[in-house]
Structure 1
Amino acid sequence: MARLLALATGGALLTGLLQATAAPAAQAAAPSGSRAVAVSLDVLTPRIPAKGSTITVSGRLTNNGKSAVTDAHVGLRVRSDGRLETRSALKNAASRTGYSYAQDGDEVKGYTTDVEDLPVGGKSTFSISVPASALDFTDAGVYQLGVALEGSTSSDSTEHVVGINRTFLPWYGEDDATGTKHTKISYLWPLIDTSHIAPRGDTDSQRSPIFLDDELAAELAPGGRLRTMVDLARNLQVTWVVDPDLLATVEFMTKGYRVAGPGGDVTKTTAGTGTDLAKQWLKDLRLAVAGDQVIALPFGDTDLASVAHQGQKVPGTTGYLKTGAALGLSTVETILGDTPTADVAWPVDGAIDPSIVSVARTGGAKRIIARSDTFHESEGLDYTPNAARPIGKGTTAVVSDATLSTTFIGAMSDPQDADLAVQSYIAQTLMITMEAPERQRSVVVAPQRMPTAAQARAMAEAVHETSAAAWATPVYFDEAASAHADSRANRSVPSSKAYPAKLRKQESTVQDFTQISETQKHLNTFVVILTRQDRVTVPFGNAVLRSMSTSWRGDLAGAAAYRNAIGFYLTDLIESVRIIDKTALTLSGRSGTIPITVKNELSQPVNVVLKLTSGANIRLEIKDADQPITIEGGHTRTLKFQTKASANGTVNVVAALYTVDNQMYGRSTAFDVHINKVTDLVMLVIGAGLLLLVLAGVRIYRQRKKLAAAGGGDDGEDGGDSDGDPDGDDPEQPGDPAADTGQETWEPSPAGEKVDG
């Protein structure tokens, strides 16, 4: 009890100390000074101001500090040192928090807007406008615009900055275009999704696919991610990057489809809800991509890095690359009605190394979309080079700009996030042009694979604004990829050691690819027996490609479950063609038949070979032990094997199915045959026959030995036999074999002596 009291007292003291130290820490954590009020910039118009325009900024204010803010107003600030000179300076300015006179400059006089007092935790909105002429922009370039809240607090009654945020304004007039070459920008617009089709097909005659969920219907509905992406890019010049599996899945939806029950239960399916949505989406997509370049990824969007780093260790894995590329091309061509580009590889995040480049080539890729944070440029290169650069063996690395490509990876659900991202993107494109105005550059933007609807809206606005900008021109991927490579740009593929560890942790393992390989081996054996192999090889091949998809990154448990489902389904199909188990049989007589029944639960005919093997051929001989058989779908067939017994006892017999190329199929079935009606007289006759054969052999041996001793033999001189008979006809001797009467006919045992099962 004393110990318990001591522990309780100590625990209470420790809790009190922790609370006492936590309280000041929590108070100290409250922002103060120029960070006390959060300034959110939700709307900036126009995004690209011109001479004579008026700039308006609207947003929200939230007092996160410890004191109320009074006598406040919102004003604009411009740096005294003018435009930003480099892309890194722009990124640094965007990352700073808090006010600094050296970085933010003076307030633009005459253009402020008053704000009501903000209590602690209080919120308010604002809108402020200023003519572009008041900002005193002179040279073309990117300028920092600060939006600051000034007011008084209980701790500082003087007017001071209590909150600030920054954005960027591009300034580019008609006069600035003289002698300046536009930057060509190719924006990739990805239509990619996760796998929705289960490995196990429906039980109908066509083996229609079963959907794992009905989530794709929501994506295709108004406001859904994929619906939004098609609507947004309809009037934009972008290069569509499409996963053919997505198109094939939506195409299945247009014909009506079934969705698995809870937990993926394919035995309790319900009708899908997205048939009409799928039809409309495909129709609109075909209109949207008309005239645009479309890049077809490998079917299922194969994870090249996983294949390169792990899959190559398993024989046969790289063979899926060509299969996926060919299937991807034909799928997009069939559904969209035009020939897409199919020689482009897109590794995750554009991260590459020599092994990734190698497997991309194996898959038929001649151009690989990389990213500039993989191809680090030398410090001496003070401008953004062309995206295209040769890396050997006829392969071109098309290096997307990392800053532009990652601009919209945030949630974008907050209006400020989208507003600042769009403005930053526009500013970066102008900065690229102004780095080297006299150089024609072609850059590529490769955003995240599956942007949200909010991210897509921000992306579309940025593409729209820059497409109309005086310093940029939108182009398709092929044009950017074929631009002349800059001699100063880095062309060295990074080593495997430089590959990001974060991405490597997300890859499939060698064991995962081994599992896929084993499944493929069993599939190859299985389809040999089918009369309509394509009805199995096509859906299974697609499922294997889906199991290697990039979309499984971040969901390794889901990937494992999907691979397991493929194996379980194949096992069920293999076991659908099987021998019906037999109990022990009794052979009632010297000869009889053994019936073996084979069942085919598949929906198509199969061709197999049924083999019966005796554990003791001397005791039980089986005639025509290998019998080919064709079984219609959903039927059973029974074959009878003729047998001949030579001794009483029990014989173990094994029935097994084989493919036509003599590979064992499925599980064999063993059973015993009891022989108990071979009489002693029969055994005596058999023994006498064997004895006569032996005596005949001895007689022949003695005759030949006698002739050899007499110096005779068949020398061809007297034309007679060795015994002196001139006609050459020996008199028949006792023990000679009887004349051939033909092969013995094996008939089934008469009634009363047939096999008793």
Structure 2
Amino acid sequence: MSASAATVDGVHIDGFDGIASPDKPLVVSGHVDAALAAPGLSVQVSVIKAGGLGSLGTTKAREQLAKLRADPTLAGKAQYTRFGDPTPVNGTNFLINEPWSLQRPLTIYPLKISAVTSTGKVVGTAYTFLVWAPEQAGLKATSLSVVLPIADYPRIRSDGLLTDNQLAEELKGPKGRLYRVLNSVPKVPNNQASSIALAVDPTLLKAVQKMADGPYSYADPSGPQERPANPDAVSFLDTLKHFAQTPGNVVFPLPWGDADLTALIRAGGQHDSGQLNDALGAVDTGEQTLRDVLGVSDPPPVAYPGDGLADAATLAFLAHPNVGMTTAILDDRLLPATSKALSETPSALTVQTTPNGPIRVLAADSKLAGLMTPKISQDGLSEPQALADVLAELATITNERTSTTTTGRLAVLALPRLWSPPTDDWGLQVLSRLALPASLTATYQPFFQPVTLPVAPKGDAGSTGSTGATAAFGPAGIGRGFTYPDWAQAAEIPTSYVDAVEHLRAEVRQLDPALCSVITSAGKTSNPSDPARCALTDAGIAGSKFANGRTGVIAPMLNTLLTALSVDWRPDRSGAVRLSQEVDGRINLLQRTVKVVASPKVTLTSRNGTVPVNVQNTSGQGGDEPYPMTVILSLSSNDKTRLRSAARMALTVEPGAIRQVEISVSSDAAGTFPVFVQVLTPDGQRLSAQPVRILVRSTAYGSIATAITYVTIGLFVVAVVLRQVRRSRRKRHGGGADDGPGGPVADVTPTDPNASAATDRATMPIRRIQANAAGTQRTEVERAYAGGVPANPSEP
């Protein structure tokens, strides 16, 4: 009963197994509110008329059941008939024990229990369902497989810390959710195979393993907090391992981080990016984790996409030989029955065709799954009432069979990802009834039988006969097509968000060569010969340790970004954003690990010189893992003719070390020019955000300046020679004595001042100062021309 249907007005059902037969009386125990207790109070059982659920009309039986569950008063008072005698209330408690003797086959009855006063007044009512199950020859029980996810929100960061310590509370009994989920799996006698298949989240496995091995640390606003090994985590892992290693049990992995495969594949198909590889990596990592942690050597090829929702492209991806899935569990609303099969629930078994071959698809019954999380204790709904709802649904599936075939049908109950049993023991109660076979001494006709999840063997996805599925569940695919409605697509993580996370993953991949590559004797970079070093990047599982004690760097970041795409974040992506931001911070830290330190200005005193540059590896200084980095220094200048070094220089810098590199430059002229130093990864991707700029200043003369100097000196020599030639000519033509130093000035100075000035200016680079016998002051122009030397003592 739903919460609204279970309003009881003071009557409560405390004990009821939901089944009666000629050999099994109707037994109901309960109590009434103290306010109703009075002398003469009794309880009365009423049921729908003899026809039961089918007598309410021609509507499909399961739809009738859903309507009555939502509002049991829809049947109306006239529809109910009293069954048996009133049972007195003892204080506030009552016990109904009535034998039944109806001559009817399997029937589902809406049941009403009323509190009646001695005057016949009804003062309270409770509603539930009863399955009448007499022995019935030829009844083919519905086969039932249960899929139980062992999953939780992703909690592993790329630095190996847990996001918080909430997982410790989830593992603690009896209130912890994960404790209640795992303890809902009943123990099968004699280690027989269980009909419950476990879908295990590999990210949860690694987190629990970290807690079990201890000590482990988790992030806290005040800093990382360390805790010792957690005994609840140890017990949880031991229980899982025992179940996984029991022959016949089905345990299969979810993708790493329970990534939203459908959203990844849709984004990859639209943008032809790396999302398809991410989806494949998530599947592979999930399988490897199951092998490592639980010892499952060959995980079954089963997929259970988030919420059971997957489009045609995702089915094709799962069926691809590189992925190798043969069986997928999908919400039955994606596999609606055709008009010919509307009168009954078709078998869950179908085979769907994809471009990559067939794949077996099991339609998980969404209505049945919806009954597995009842609102117990709200509005009076009790555990027995909730269990009776589930049994009535299964009986209705079996009872609605109208065909004459002798084959049964398969029903798959796939529980929600983060299923939370409403009470401490509800999960164990209901799964014990659904997963354990009926006793050989059962006093009623079993109308369902637990079966192991029918997983198609590898390479045989299109066949149903290999596991006897056809004989047990009827022809595959009858009455079922495949569709992907708009509401299913709307539930996916948006493509824009997937692209944003993929951008971060691309930045992480760019860092891989810097950690993994080595420099050869020829100065080139190549893959290392030491596998331990590449393990820094190739750690398949986030936070795993290697023989040398190092922790993986690249793979943990990639894996954490996959957890940021988990289906768990579909309703609210705030937790995913926090995981992405943590990785983004580590990316920035790695990009800043290699620093170029150089003087902003360097002066050259000759034509050729070197500019010293220090390259420093700061990894390990902030408490992170220290690791060597192989990088490329890219050198450039606006004036390429002045940079004589190679355009790129490869070097490896050990953690904490400083490598000095000298950049060769030359200058043909005095001046200033910039040199830019950019840090790249070995495959040419930019590592540093901005290049380092070094301003190189040259004070040496270049070739042009030298040529000008030589020309000037040459002109000076020519002028001196011409002067000497002129003097020699004067002497030959009767000129006076030499006018050089000490010679008579009158022989050199012409009589005409104007002529003297004209001749002097045309031939003499050095001017003599003319005597001014009159003592007159010269003009400023004359003084400047004479070099500023006074002509007599009185001239300033």
Interval containing the TM-score (normalised by the shorter chain):
0.7 to 0.9
Q: For each residue in 1:358-381, what CA deviation from the matched residue of structure 2 results, as whole angstroms up to 9, or x when unmatched? A: 444455433221223332224543
1:478 aligns to 2:454 (yes or no):
yes
Cα distance, 1:196 vs. partner? 0.7
Count, aligned residues: 621
Q: Label 1:396 to 1:78 Cα distance change in 2 as closer, same or farther (>3 A).
A: same
Equivalent position SS for 1:599: strand
Check the 8 A contact 1:310/1:510 in 2, yes or no.
yes
2:93 aligns with one of 107, 126, 133: 126
Residue 674 of structure 1 and its aligned partner are, at CA, apart by 4.1
- Check if 1:400 corresponds to 2:364: yes
| 3-state secondary structure, aligned to 1:373 | helix
Task: Measure the CA separation in 2 of the matches of 1:50 and 1:454.
Answer: 33
SS at match of 1:449: coil
CA 1:271–1:50 in structure 2 vs 1: closer, same or farther (change >3 Å)?
Answer: farther
Q: Deviations over 1:265-314 (max 9, x none)?
A: 7xx10113553322221112111332311121111112134335555433
1:212-291 alignment, distance < 5 Å: 212-223=163-174, 224-236=176-188, 237=194, 238-263=196-221, 268-272=223-227, 275-289=230-244, 290-291=246-247
**Code of the aligned partner of 2:170:** E
Pick from 586, 594, 604 the counterpart of residue 603 of structure 2: 586
Matched, 1:44 2:44: no
Does the 8 A contact of 1:587 with 1:677 survive in 2?
Answer: yes
Aligned to 1:373: 333
The within-5 A match list for 1:336-375 is 336-361=294-319, 364-375=324-335
Q: For residue 46 of structure 2, what is the amino acid of its counterpart? A: R
Of 665, 690, 693, the match for 2:687: 665
Match of 1:297 among 239, 254, 270: 254
Offset from partner CA, 1:328-366 (integer Å, 9 cap, x none): 111101211123545333234334443443444455433
Contact 1:84–1:141 (8 Å) recurs in 2: yes
Other structure's SS at 1:395 match? strand
The percent identity for this pair of structures is 21
Paired position in structure 2 for 1:431: 396
CA deviations on 1:387-437 (whole Å, 9 max, x unpaired) are: 111221302221122222221133435583432221121222233333338
Q: Deviations over 1:60-103 (max 9, x none)?
A: 4487xxx9999643221123324333333333332324483333
- Matched position secondary structure for 1:210: coil
Question: What is the distance in 2 between the residues matched to 1:62 and 1:358?
Answer: 61
Alpha-carbon distance, 1:681 to partner: 8.4
1:114 aligns to what?
A: 89
Question: Are 2:628 and 1:616 equivalent residues in the alignment?
Answer: no
Report the Cα distance in structure 2 between the residues aligned to 1:262 and 1:488, rounded to whole angstroms: 52
Match of 1:489, SS state, is: coil
Task: State whether structure 2 residue 279 is matched by structure 1 residue 321.
Answer: yes
CA distance, structure 2, for counterparts of residue 38 and residue 303 of structure 1: 46
Which residue of 2 is the match for residue 545 of structure 1? 562
| CA distance in structure 2 between the aligned counterparts of 1:488 and 1:513, rounded to whole angstroms | 33
| Cα distance in 2, alignment partners of residues 662 and 543 from structure 1 | 25
3-state SS, counterpart of residue 682 of structure 2: coil
CA displacement 1:661-706 (0-9 Å, x = unmatched)? 33332234333434343147894279989xxxxxxxxxxxxxxxxx
- Is the contact made by 1:649 and 1:675 (CA closer than 8 Å) also made in structure 2? yes
Which residue type is aligned with residue 405 of structure 1? A
Letter in 1 for 2:161: I
Equivalent residue for 2:387, pick from 406, 418, 422: 422
Q: Secondary structure at the match of 1:159?
A: coil
Contact 1:387 1:398 in 2 (8 A): yes
Q: Any idea what the Cα deviations from partners look like across 1:710-744, whole Å, max 9, x if unmatched?
A: xxxxxxxxxxxxxxxxxxxxxxxxxxxxxxxxxxx
- CA–CA separation in structure 2 for the residues paired with 1:143 and 1:305: 42
Change (3 A) 1:129 1:479: farther
Does the C-alpha gap of structure 1 residues 530 and 413 become closer, same or farther in structure 2, counting only changes over 3 Å? farther
**d(CA) in 2 for partners of 1:560 and 1:78?**
54
> Which residue does the alignment assign to 2:43?
74
Q: Given the alignment of the two structures, is residue 94 of structure 1 paired with residue 69 of structure 2, yes or no?
A: yes
Question: What CA distance in whole angstroms lies between the structure 1 residues aligned with 2:635 and 2:267?
Answer: 43
Q: SS at 1:232's partner residue?
A: coil
CA distance in 2, matches of 1:462, 1:556: 32
Q: Which amino acid aligns with 2:254?
A: L
Q: Go from structure 1 to structure 2 and tell me whether the alpha carbon gap of 1:370 and 1:427 turns closer, same or farther (over 3 Å shift).
A: same
What does residue 390 of structure 1 align with?
351
Alpha-carbon distance change, 38 to 606 in structure 1, aligned in 2, over 3 angstroms: same
| Structure 2 Cα separation of the partners of residues 580 and 643 of structure 1 | 18
Determine which structure has more spread, i.e. the larger CA radius of gyration.
Answer: 2
Give structure 2 stretches of 5+ with no counterpart: 55-60, 189-193, 439-445, 457-463, 517-533, 539-551, 620-625, 712-796
Q: Secondary structure at the match of 1:544?
A: helix
Evaluate the alpha carbon distance shift between residue 161 and residue 136 of structure 1 in structure 2; reply closer, same or farther with a 3 A threshold: farther
Equivalent of 2:126, from 147, 154, 165?
Answer: 165
Q: Which amino acid aligns with 1:42?
A: D
Asked whether the 8 Å contact 2:263–2:494 carries over to 1, the reply is yes
Q: Which moved more, 1:680-689 or 1:90-99?
A: 680-689
Is the 8 Å Cα contact of residues 18 and 130 (structure 2) preserved in structure 1?
no
Structure 2 CA distance, aligned partners of 1:488 and 1:330? 32
Structure 2 distance, partners of 1:642, 1:635, is 23
Match of 1:652 among 655, 662, 674: 674
3-state SS of paired residue (1:326): helix
Matched, 1:491 2:473: no
Q: CA deviation at 1:319?
A: 1.8
> Displacement of 1:444 after TM fit?
0.9
Relative to structure 1, the CA distance from residue 443 to residue 345 in structure 2 (aligned partners, 3 Å threshold; closer, same or farther) is: same
TM-score (norm 2): 0.71
1:350 and 1:593 mapped to 2: Cα distance? 65
Q: CA deviation at 1:518?
A: 1.4
- 2: CA distance between counterparts of 1:105 and 1:559? 56
Is 1:452 aligned with 2:420?
yes
Q: CA deviation at 1:522?
A: 1.5
The 5-angstrom pairing of residues 140-179 of structure 1 reads 140-151=106-117, 159-173=120-134, 175-176=135-136, 178-179=137-138
Q: Which moved more, 1:454-463 or 1:234-243?
A: 454-463
| Structure 1 pair 49–42 and aligned structure 2 pair: CA distance change class (3 A) | farther
**Secondary structure of 1:194's match?**
coil
Matched residues in 2 for 1:70 and 1:53: separation?
27
CA contact (8 A) 2:32 2:93 kept: yes
Is this contact kept in 2: 1:351–1:499, CA < 8 A?
A: no
| Pairing partner for 1:461 from 429, 432, 440 | 429
Instruction: Provide the rounded CA distance (Å) in 2 between the counterparts of 1:638 and 1:232.
Output: 64
CA distance in 2, matches of 1:640, 1:212: 45
For residues 607 and 455 of structure 2, the distance between their equivalents in structure 1, rounded to whole angstroms, comes to: 85
TM-score (norm 1): 0.75
- Alignment gaps of 5+ in structure 1: 1-30, 117-124, 153-157, 202-208, 690-757
8 A Cα contact 1:195 1:546, kept in partner: yes
Is 1:181 aligned with 2:144?
Answer: no
Query: Aligned partners of 2:121 and 2:24: how far apart in 1?
Result: 31
State the AA in 1 paired with 2:250: Q
State the Cα RMSD in Å: 3.2
Structure 1 residue 576: Cα displacement: 1.2
